[in-house]
Amino acid sequence: MSLAVETLKNLLKQIGKPVKLMEVCGTHTVAIFRQGVRELLPEELSLISGPGCPVCVTAVEDIEKAMEIARKENVIFTTFGDMMRVPGIKKNLSEAKAEGADIRVLYSPIDALKIAAENKDKKIVFFATGFETTSPSVAATLFEADKRGISNFYIYSVHKLVPPALDALLGSGEVKIDGFILPGHVSTIIGSKPYNFITEKYHKPSVITGFEAGDILQGINMLLEQIASNRAEVEIQYKKVVREEGNPKAVALINEYFEPCDAYWRGIGTIPLSGLKLREKYKHRDINSVVKIETSFISGPQEPKGCSCGEILKGIKTPDECPLFAGVCTPENPIGACMVSTEGSCAAYYKYGGFSG
């Protein structure tokens, strides 16, 4: 480990100016804090967290709609646990549950099919959130539902795609980043090719990196080597898991059921073709086309006043630069979504940065 840190310091000396890298994925943010990587890094190297927490970027409007669906008679609403406490306008799914909505936390969408088979008189809805890491399992669940002839299973898709978000981020010119630590898990599915635009269009070094301290330091060193030699390539550090072509089977499954659509990212705005919606032939699985959802009470993005989640997700601000951070906004009382998910930047800064306890 000390050798890797030595190499890192030498490379920085060679580069001769401060370097700013973005870790795109929330799992990286947490891994970096949890393993104490940050403390080993010299001042000239700063790591900033990116938009890579699917919980954090789910729009307030989608949370409100999810609660509307969950409150309906004859609906059992199922979701990943992280979504339970994401604030809507006034309430969250956890509070909707306490008020009587039938909301169940699942570890895997496939569990929803069991609930569907046991509750034939009800509509079972899965809140399909997450990046390319979770969309294949939702697609596989839809496939299984068809195979088992389960007709009362629906999804509410707010799936998001990582590469278009990075494109939007770089295209906006707001963010000054020297290189990207790319997500290991997402890349397991999509491989390295979808990131080529980062190097071709923006000439930014990128390395797909694993989650152990050793992986992360090695990934950073690979980025620094690229910067030092003025190269910009998409490299894979996490070779034991990620292949250049990704997982073609999983990608084919996603493409069978979903097609890209414009999507609203909390704090960032609408990014073209950065979401996934069900294809026309699978519309009967889309809860939006089956039940009427009253949305007139939602006007605009409805993001909380003073919350800097948007700038934090874009890497313009660090969480401690938000006026609400650690004062009004804490993991017990999250105002912005970045404080909700354990993998949100604000929650990670709060938990591991010495602001709590």
Interface residues with another protein (CB under 8 A)?
Answer: 1, 25-27, 33-40, 52-55, 80-85, 94-95, 98-99, 105, 107-108, 111, 129-131, 133-134, 185-186, 213, 331-332, 341-343, 351-354, 356-357
Q: Determine which helix (DSSP H) or strand (DSSP E) holds 140, and give its type and residue range.
A: helix 135-147
Smaller CB separation from another protein, 55 or 251: 55
Taking CA atoms, 113 is separated from 50, 68, 147, 260, in Å, by 34, 22, 11, 25
Query: Toward another protein, which CB reaches closer, 295 or 356?
Result: 356
Closest to 123 (Cα-Cα) out of 140, 139, 138, 145? 145
CA distance 209 to 314: 20
Of the candidates 339, 30, 11, the one whose C-alpha atom is nearest the C-alpha of residue 212 is: 30
Nearest distance in Å: CB 90, another protein: 11
Instruction: Please identify, using beta-carbon distances, which residue of 19 and 25 lies nearer to another protein.
Output: 25
Q: How far is the CB of 173 from another protein (least distance, A)?
A: 27
Q: Which residue type does 23 have?
A: E
The nearer residue to another protein, 107 or 280, going by C-beta atoms, is: 107
* Segment (H or E) for 213: helix 213-228
CB of 98 to another protein, least distance (A): 4
What minimum distance in Å lies between the beta carbon of 176 and another protein? 26
Exposure string over 143-174, b if 16+ CB within 10 A, otherwise e: eebeeeebebbbbbbbbbbbbbbbbbbbeeee
Alpha-carbon distance 26 to 348, whole Å? 9
191: helix, coil or strand? coil
Nearer to another protein by Cβ, of 55 and 177: the residue is 55
Residue 78 CA to residue 345 CA, distance in Å, equals 25
Which one, 25 or 227, has the nearer CB to another protein? 25
User: Which amino acid does the sequence have at 353?
Assistant: G
Nearer to another protein among residue 112 and residue 227 (C-beta): 112
CB of 330 to another protein, least distance (A): 8
Per DSSP, the chain holds a count of helices (H) and strands (E) of 13, 11
Min. distance of Cβ 336 from another protein in angstroms?
15
Q: How far is the CB of 132 from another protein (least distance, A)?
A: 9
Minimum distance from residue 347 beta carbon to another protein (Å): 8
Tokens coding 169: 């981020």
Nearer to another protein, 85 or 314 (CB): 85
